[in-house]
Amino acid sequence: MTKDRLNIYLPSRIKRRLKELSEDTNMTMNDIAVDAIKDRLDRADTVNSAPDIVLDRLGQVLNTLILLAQDTTDQDIKHLIEELEETQQSALSAIQKEQAEIKEILIDIRNRQ
């Protein structure tokens, strides 16, 4: 794997903690930093994929509704559409809640630095 150099400035307290962890775990400070950055990026990728999963699920529900619409009455269709709209609202609320939690985590991380 190709490696690129990155120079960063760490507060002395963080550098001291990094050095202590390095000595305790017999890992290089670089390896610990790379692992920490990779973990943070992986978490960001996971968080950002949640809306895509919800949208995919809504698409599946819509396709099911279309198939059901061919064999149902108008009243049944109206009921199914209402359920879809409720599901969509719930999904959007969940996404907004997750985004708020992520913002709080990022603020906490920044404040710790």
Angle at 81 between CA 78 and CA 84, to 5 degrees: 155
Look at residue 49 in the predicted model and tell me its pLDDT. 62
| pLDDT on residue 106 | 86
Tell me which residue of 40, 32, 35 sits closest to 106, measured CA to CA.
40
Is the pLDDT at 77 greater than 90? The verdict is: no
pLDDT digits (tens, 9 = 90+) for 78-94: 887 888 888 888 888 88
* The predicted structure's pLDDT at residue 103: 86
Question: Structural domain boundaries of the chain?
Answer: 12-112
Structure tokens at 103: 């913002």
- For 58-67, what is each residue's pLDDT tens digit? 888 888 877 7
User: What pTM, to 2 d.p., does this model score?
Assistant: 0.43
